[in-house]
Every structure is written in structure tokens, then in C-alpha cells.
Chains A and B, each alone.
Chain A
Amino acid sequence: MDWRWDFTFEVVMPRMIEAAGVTAWATVASFCLALVGGLILMLLKQHRSVWISRPTTEFIEFIRATPLLVQIFFLFFLLPDFGITLPPLTTGILAIAIYNSALCAEVYRAGFEAVPRGQWEACVALNISTYRTFRDIIIPQSLPPIIPALGNYFVAIFKETPLLSFVAVAEIMQISKLIGAEYYRFTEAVTIAGIFFLVMSLIAAFMIRQVENFVKHRIVR
């Protein structure tokens, strides 16, 4: 078996580029939802009432200990039972977002806990309001650990989007599978999918490092 360039350019590439759009949309949408979801989960987990914080903690633990793929199937097959019919892409984005919310909640928590207690105490001693304490003291100091970690989750989400092919979302992996089935050759499509993910991850990793350095030097000197 050899590599066929004409097949690559005429059949594979056009469809892959289209599919890359779906992958990109799924990644960005899931990431944005997870950022907000993570914040909500973190706040619920820190809630004063044990009846709210405890179940949240267990929910986060459960989500983190079970495979995303099964969660996707769960939502995909279960939501229609409750009369909620969503397109597979939306269901998939929702599942990825919930899964990563649980992970992001931990990132936020770790970030805030990384700010030394003395900073809070100093703010109290200086009589700074809670709002300004957060805005001017706590958040700027917790960003350096949080931002790179969130960047890593962005890349992780990107690499999780192929799971959507299990519920027939027309993203990169699904398209390469379809091309393979249609033409009885997988080499070009699957290899290009692999290279696509590799190159994008490497670029993303490089950018995260840049941001990390920027944040380190700009926000906390």
C-alpha cells in the first residue's frame, strides 16, 4: 500500500478542512462552557452549607473518575428519554463541558489556595474591602498558576473532541472514518487526522508556554 497524493488532495483534504471547523467549534464551545461551569462548581463546593458543598464534591469526584465517552453515551441516549432532543453535536459539547467543568473547578480552587493566607490577613489589617481584595490582591496572584492549567485543559478538550465521532458528529475523526469506509483506504485520512492533532497540540503547547512566561513576568514581578 502506498500514499496517494491525488487522493489526499482531491478527496481527503476538502472534507477534512470542513470537519476541522466542526472540531474547532466543539473545542471552543466546550471550553467556554467549562470555564463558567468550573467556576460555578467551585463556588458550590466552597459553599457554607454542607448540604451543597458535600454533594458537589462527590459529583466532581464521580465525573472525574468515570470515562468521558460513557458520559457522552449516557447523555446521548438518556436525554431523549426525558423528551429533550438535541443535535448530537450539542449533546457532545454539553458532555465535554460538564466533564471539564469538574476538572476546571479543581484548577480554580488550587489557584486560590496558592495565594498565601498572609495576603488575606494583610488585606484585613489594611481594611481593604472584600471586593477590592479579590480584584486587586487575590485574583492577580492566583492567575499565574490558573492560566497555564486552563490552557492545558483547552488542549485536552481539543484532543477529546474525536470522541464525538462515537455519536456520529461530523468532526475530523468521523470524517476520516467515513472516507476510509467509502474508499476502502484509511492511510491518508487517518494519518492526516493524526498530523492535524499533533501539529495543533504542539502549537498550542508552545503558545501556553509563551502565555505562562508573559503572565509570570507581567502580573507578578
Chain B
Amino acid sequence: MKPRIAILAALGAFIVGLSVATFAELKLFLPPILRGAVVTLQISFWSWLLFVSLSCIAGLGRWQRNLLVRWTATVYIEVFRGTSLLVILFWLFFVLPEFGIIMSPFVAGVLGVGLNFGAYGAEVVRGALTAVPKGQREAAIALNIKPRNFVVRILFPQAIAIMVPGMVNLTIEMIKATALVSAITLVDITYASVQQNQLYFRTLEIFTIALLLYYCFAQFVRFGGAALEEYFTRHLAKRR
């Protein structure tokens, strides 16, 4: 998908117009929202690292023949996909301290989002691994290629190309989902907007800015994802 530059430009113009219209108060409520955006980005970054690593580990686990490994991965995936993210966050932040495990809101937020999306990502990874044609393994056997080399040099490069679109979508979903960390006292874009709204009652402007910020993040990821996809599928160029 190509970036919607025209749309972004139109929205940019809209923001400028909006800021002119509400300039006086914008000075008051914009900085806290932007500080919230920094928190959103930080949480997104760390959660993304956790989510991608967990996806790979659990996805590979589901794909293993070893029953114990496979079952552990399956239980993880089912539990963290089946429960709602908000419940997971509450559990990490309010219940675990009752068992003596206390963590900062930031750590709980990253852990909750990462664990939740790792479970979704694991299915993407597993799907990609099974989507590589069976003939590839047979060719590797016929060429006497060692199983480890097959996995690293033939299976993974092809599986990564297949999983990129799914992971890009999940990354956008994940950034959106970080809005929920406002429930555990983290002042991200969403929570900052609610706070500023309570102070200045400029609902339309404040929440439009919040939505636009998320929208821009999503478009940015989509744009990067498209470039990544092109890089990984460059060998599939059509015949001249």
C-alpha cells in the first residue's frame, strides 16, 4: 500500500487550521498531549521488541515436534489471546502486587501489551513457517543440506517474507492497543487527552489531535512495512 500523502497533507492543513482557530488554548493542551505521545512511542517500542521475540519463540515452539515445547507454546498462545488485554494489564498491575510482585506501570504496560500481541504474532510466525512449500525441504534433503542449514538459510528467509504483512498489521494493532495502558496510570496520548479535556473542555480539538497522532503512527508503520515487504520479496520480481 502506498502512503496516503495527499490525505496526510489534507490532515496537516486541518491541524494548522485548527491550531489557528484555537491557538491560545492549543499552547496549553498540546504540550502535555505530545508528552503523552512520547510515552506511547516508548511503550510501543519496548512492547514491539517483546512481541516480536515472543512471536518467534512461541511460533517456533508450536512448530516443533517435541510435545512438551509444543504444548507450552499452545497454552501461552491460547491464554494470552483468549483473555482481553485490559484484563491482562489489570492482572499484572493490581493482582500481582498482592502476591508480592510489584512492577512499575511502565513495565506492566510493556509486559501486558507484549505478552498479548506475542500470542497473536506466534500464529503469524507459525503460519509463515508452514506456508513455505514442502518441496523446499525435499530439495534440501536431496542436496544433503544439513537440517540446521536448511532452517537458517532456506526456511527462515522465505518465512520472513511471508510473515511481514501480518506482522505489520499486528504492529499497527499493537500501537492502537497501547491506549489501554491509561488504565494503569500511564499518561500516554489517550490519558493525556482525557486529562486535558477535563481541564479545557475542548473535546473536538483534543481528541482529533489524539486520533490524528495515532493515525500518523499507523501510516508510518504501514509505509515502513511496505518498504520492508518489497525488500524481502525482491527476488519474486516478475519475468521481463
Contacts and interface: CB of A to CB of B under 8 A. Distances in A.
Contact present between A and B (CB < 8 A): yes
A71 B211 CA distance: 8
Contact of B203 (A74, A162, A166, A185): A74
B190 A163 contact: no
B87 A65 contact: no
A1 B98 contact: yes
Interface stretch (A13-21, A39-47, A110-118, A172-180): A172-180
Interface size, B (range): 35 or more
Contacts of A165: 86, 183
A173 B184 CA distance: 13
A197 interface: yes
A153 interface: no
Q: Interface majority SS on B: helix, strand, loop or mixed?
A: helix
B95 A66 contact: no
B177 interface: yes
B231 interface: no
Contact of A180 (B94, B190, B214, B218): B94
Contacts of A186: 90, 94-95, 98
Interface stretch (B12-20, B23-31, B76-84, B153-161): B76-84
Contacts of A77: 197, 203, 207
A197 B194 CA distance: 27
A173 B194 CA distance: 20
Contacts of B84: 159-162, 173, 197
Nearest to B81: A201
A190 B82 CA distance: 15
Contact of A73 (B85, B94, B193): B193
B218 A65 contact: yes
A190 B214 contact: no
A194 B194 contact: no
B179 interface: yes
B7 A67 contact: no
B204 interface: yes
B124 to A, nearest CB: 15
Interface string B158-194: 0000000000000010001111101100000110011
B88 interface: yes
A162 B86 contact: yes
A137 interface: no
A163 B91 CA distance: 15
A214 interface: no
B203 A78 contact: yes
Contacts of B100: 1
A198 B79 contact: yes
Contact of B83 (A65, A68, A197): A197
A199 B83 CA distance: 9
Interface in A24-69: 58, 61-62, 65-69
Contacts of A161: 84
B40 to A, nearest CB: 10
B94 A202 contact: no
Residue of B179, B190, B204, B210 with most chain A CB atoms under a 10 A cut-off: B179
Given A58-B7, A74-B203, A67 B86 contact: no
A66 B221 CA distance: 13
B183 to A, nearest CB: 7
B219 interface: yes
Given A68-B179, A70-B179, A176-B90, 12 more contacts: A62-B211, A62-B215, A69-B179, A70-B210, A81-B203, A162-B87, A163-B86, A186-B95, A187-B99, A190-B87, A197-B84, A198-B78
28 contacts: A1-B99, A1-B100, A62-B211, A65-B176, A66-B214, A66-B218, A67-B176, A67-B177, A67-B178, A67-B179, A69-B179, A69-B180, A70-B193, A73-B194, A73-B197, A74-B203, A78-B204, A159-B84, A162-B84, A163-B180, A173-B86, A176-B90, A187-B98, A190-B91, A193-B87, A197-B84, A197-B87, A198-B79
Interface of B: 4, 7, 78-79, 81-88, 90-91, 94-95, 98-100, 172, 176-180, 182-183, 189-190, 193-194, 197, 203-204, 207, 210-211, 214-215, 218-219
